[in-house]
Structure 1
Amino acid sequence: MTGRDGTTAGDGLTRKLGLLDCVLLSVGGMVGSAIFVFPGSTGRLAGPASTLAWVVAGLLMMVIALCYTELALAFPKAGGPAVFPAETFGRNRTVRLFASYLEGICYCVGMVFSITISALAIAQYLGIAYPRTQGYVVPIALVAIALSFLVNLVGVTNTSRTNLVLSAVLLTILLVFVAGAFTRLEPTNYDPFFTSGPAKFFAAVQLALTGYGAWTAIPSVVEEVKQPAKTVPRAILVSLLVTLVLYTGVVVALHGVVAPSAFVAANPVTTVPLGVAAAELGFPILQQYLLPLAAIVAIFTTMLVGTMSASRVVFALGRNGTLPSPFAAVHSRFQVPWVGLMAVSLVAAALTTFPNYFYELLVIASVVGTGLPYALNIVSFVGLRYYRTDVTPPFRAPGGYALAAVALVALSVSMVGLGSTEVVWSVGSLVLMCGYFVVRYLKRPDVFRGHDAATAWE
């Protein structure tokens, strides 16, 4: 294994990703199912104020990203989100590994559910362009997951190249949509601006926050990034800024052409909001062909990046023993964690057989799979500053503990707002995940006791 800026990482992984690769992976992962599906749900929760919710979510994500950037460069290992708690959560090895496991599994839950939601959304948007496919939602979703798995299997470089081409097509079509919508905005659609209370507004913020989550693919693949000390901070900041501007433009355009009364349960705007907006604009080509194409392309890029990053987190958990060691296997030819890729894809495929639980899956992905992992790693950031004085990362987030406090408070309020809509599903998911850890601990106590590299500073 070479130094942090070398070309060889370790365990079969190699450094192949440059700045443009990372930016496009991040943007391609974020601009996917989120912007084509979630604005309908945020509009249902907060009305026109959901436009502000997307901006607040983007700014909050930048604060969280500063914490992650410092952590990623302090511990530049594959599956970073699961690595950080194992290195920083105090002096007790069992506590650190439990935090690492919970972080990693919750992160994977978020990504796997996002892949599932994305695959189902591809089938829905395909049904707009080709109505004959409307009765084949689950088979189409399974094909999409299989394609995502195969593209990821042939290597990170090929995944990046595929993402580059698809992202170019996507951004072009979205810009056409925004430009067309801005010529026909109806100001009265924003009056009144706030149609619900603070609880639902922050629930919308938490849901929108999920749409910005794919930038964590960069810390997840940091072991495969060239010159990470320079590349990682720039790639995260640039990709978040680009996505924030694009999301804001799209959501403002959506509410400018679709009346607030349309954002109700069982209305198509809650599942295919941009398709409904295109119909309101009276652009048949945009509605019938271009937007469904853009949606399918965008959603597939989200699947690519989600599959890639989740597999690296599974790989990290296999490395530290909280999951069985086969999960840390790397394919000798393609140099990817193939067992993790297969596990993520199979679970996502199984979940697609429950399309009627779309909103419940969305809440779990947002609260358990996004909010909780962010909260754990904000605490990891505090642990890095407090416990790991032996580590000096090349990037230091401004604000220190105050930055972490702001991020944690805002994130907690948002999580409570959305989690309260599906308490049983959220709590039930956590109980199942913690139950597995207890079983693993009882079967392999040697893994969770003793000493490791992270206790050398004690």
Structure 2
Amino acid sequence: MTLWQKLTAKPDLQQTLRADHRLARTLTTRDLIALGIGAVIGTGIFILPGTVAATTSGPGIMLAFVLAAIVCSLAAMCYAEFASTLPVAGSAYAYGNVVFGQIFGWIIGWALILEYMLAVAAVSTSFAAYFASLLAGFHLHLPQALSGAFDPTQGTYVNLVAVLVVLLIGLMLSRGMQTSMAVNRAMVAVKLLIIGVFIVVGLFYVQPANWHPFLPFGAKGVLAGASLVFFAYLGFDAVSASAPEVKNPQKTLPRGIIGTLIIATVLYVAVAIVLTGMVHYTRLDVADPVAFALTAIHHRGLAGFISLGALAGMFTMMVTMIYSSSRLVYAIGRDGLLPTWFGAVRHQLPENALWTVTIIIAIMGGLVPLTALVNLVNIGTLIAFAFVSIGIIPLRRHPELQNDGFKVPGYPVVPVLSFLFCLLLMSQLGATTWLMSLVWFGVGMVIYFGYGFRHGK
């Protein structure tokens, strides 16, 4: 066997499909949509519609969200077909492994590890900041030493709240999926209630004159806005990580992925319509545009209510991403590209992978300043999207794979279009982001050739 043949070796398909039989199948369509909404609708819904309207799109921000959703739906349909055909743990990593071979699966998996862990660590620090401001409202304050990442010059040593919230979610997930999903559904319901209250209250204060001019930056502003808000939709891909724990995955997974995107689009557009109707877009370039708009119409009490929605949004996002990253690390360990200890299952849960992921994220969120690294989340996501999109073509041609569930309409045009849009968005990322990602993938290649290449099953 040549080096290239070994690098692109594909796993035994029947063995892959049977590999996750020890995980409990308990999740329903409702659970998946709650997971998806938990990941996609975070604090961004309270910030992006205002700031992007003020700086880039004007009231046309509502069209920017629709355009971004259309582009995102191309990748979502590709994920849905893969999830229907290959209901296995590991999401895009497993898909790449089966249709492209081991080295490509590893690259996708390494990109997703970066996406999930960095995203949660960054959100945990935002959660801590919101929580601190909530405590300040009751005249309570954490000691300076426990309020930020390790920086002795600023008097901060650990972000205690960021560490504790990540460990709490890890503990919750270790209690089993039924308990975790019940808590997650409740938090998603709180978040949706708060968004709904804002939309209903705000509708009474909408002044159509605020929507003029509708396209102050022209069509170019809508396109630029779409490229910015595209990243607000990221997270629906995490739904596919739940495949081996889903009842009737061929139907449930596509419904969960596409249902998430539809609901998220409706909510983002509704918030954009109401927000730009309440306050003229030129006044919305502030850190908290939704709270600002409520204060402007003399509903300061509701502005505090929005902070609770933001906390619920960040909590559910972390639940989904910690869950997804633990299943990803479990799948990579199960296949031998990481030590098989990570692929161990106890009490129908991949506990080793779950606690490893939880502890690493807690350390990152508590000790590491993450500001410069957050853009790496986008590149990790887009790499996975690109591989999954173009992977539909070899998936359809695979002699052993039969799919009686969801199939991407407009094949092969839709997968190719999705792939090209991913490349276009990747080209918009800055040079620093690319440089840091090269370092990350360099480390990944060292681990792969040092361990995974020799131990991969």
Short-chain TM bin: 0.7 to 0.9
What secondary structure sits across from 1:321 in the alignment?
coil
Would the alpha carbon gap of residues 353 and 218 (structure 1) be closer, same or farther in structure 2, given more than 3 Å must change? Answer: closer
1:206, 1:371 within 8 Å by CA — same for their partners in 2? Answer: no
**Which whole-Å CA distance do the structure 2 matches of 1:378 and 1:397 have between them?**
10
The aligned residue for residue 129 of structure 2 is: 124
Work out which of the residue numbers 82, 97, 115 in structure 2 matches 1:86. 97
> Unmatched 5+ residue regions in structure 2?
1-13, 149-158
**Which whole-Å CA distance do the structure 2 matches of 1:318 and 1:41 have between them?**
42
Would the alpha carbon gap of residues 195 and 415 (structure 1) be closer, same or farther in structure 2, given more than 3 Å must change? Answer: farther
The aligned residue for residue 338 of structure 2 is: 323
What secondary structure sits across from 2:402 in the alignment?
coil
| Cα shift at 1:408 | 1.7
> Unmatched 5+ residue regions in structure 1?
90-95, 453-458
**Which whole-Å CA distance do the structure 2 matches of 1:236 and 1:348 have between them?**
25
Work out which of the residue numbers 412, 426, 442 in structure 1 matches 2:423. 412
| Cα shift at 1:71 | 0.9
TM-score, length basis structure 2: 0.84
**Which whole-Å CA distance do the structure 1 matches of 2:50 and 2:340 have between them?**
41
1:210, 1:370 within 8 Å by CA — same for their partners in 2? Answer: no
| Cα shift at 1:173 | 1.3
The aligned residue for residue 303 of structure 2 is: 287
**Which whole-Å CA distance do the structure 1 matches of 2:381 and 2:435 have between them?**
14
CA offsets per residue over residues 216-259 of structure 1, 9 Å max, x none? 23311110101112212222222221111011111233333344
The aligned residue for residue 79 of structure 2 is: 68
**Which whole-Å CA distance do the structure 2 matches of 1:365 and 1:285 have between them?**
34
What secondary structure sits across from 1:13 in the alignment?
coil
**Which whole-Å CA distance do the structure 2 matches of 1:230 and 1:125 have between them?**
38
Across the aligned residues of Structure 1 and Structure 2, the Cα RMSD in angstroms comes to 2.7
**Which whole-Å CA distance do the structure 1 matches of 2:282 and 2:301 have between them?**
26
What secondary structure sits across from 1:114 in the alignment?
helix
2:79, 2:388 within 8 Å by CA — same for their partners in 1? Answer: yes
TM-score, length basis structure 1: 0.84
- Note the 1:238-387 alignment, pairs <5 A: 238-262=259-283, 264=285, 269-270=286-287, 272-288=288-304, 290-330=305-345, 332-333=346-347, 335-353=348-366, 357-358=370-371, 360-366=372-378, 368-386=379-397
Percent sequence identity is 25
What secondary structure sits across from 1:87 in the alignment?
helix
**Which whole-Å CA distance do the structure 2 matches of 1:415 and 1:22 have between them?**
28
**Which whole-Å CA distance do the structure 2 matches of 1:169 and 1:58 have between them?**
24
**Which whole-Å CA distance do the structure 2 matches of 1:252 and 1:121 have between them?**
26
| Cα shift at 1:195 | 5.6
CA offsets per residue over residues 291-311 of structure 1, 9 Å max, x none? 111111121011101111111
| Cα shift at 1:286 | 0.8
Query: Which amino acid is the alignment partner of residue 74 of structure 1?
Result: T
1:316, 1:328 within 8 Å by CA — same for their partners in 2? Answer: yes
CA offsets per residue over residues 265-313 of structure 1, 9 Å max, x none? xxxx34x33333332232122112x111111112101110111111111
Aligned residues: 423
**Which whole-Å CA distance do the structure 1 matches of 2:195 and 2:116 have between them?**
24
The aligned residue for residue 108 of structure 1 is: 113
**Which whole-Å CA distance do the structure 1 matches of 2:302 and 2:135 have between them?**
14
The aligned residue for residue 216 of structure 1 is: 237
The aligned residue for residue 228 of structure 1 is: 249
1:78, 1:223 within 8 Å by CA — same for their partners in 2? Answer: yes
Structure 1 residue 16 and structure 2 residue 11: aligned?
Answer: no
1:43, 1:50 within 8 Å by CA — same for their partners in 2? Answer: yes
The aligned residue for residue 434 of structure 2 is: 426
| Cα shift at 1:321 | 2.4
Would the alpha carbon gap of residues 354 and 221 (structure 1) be closer, same or farther in structure 2, given more than 3 Å must change? Answer: same
Work out which of the residue numbers 168, 175, 184 in structure 1 matches 2:196. 175
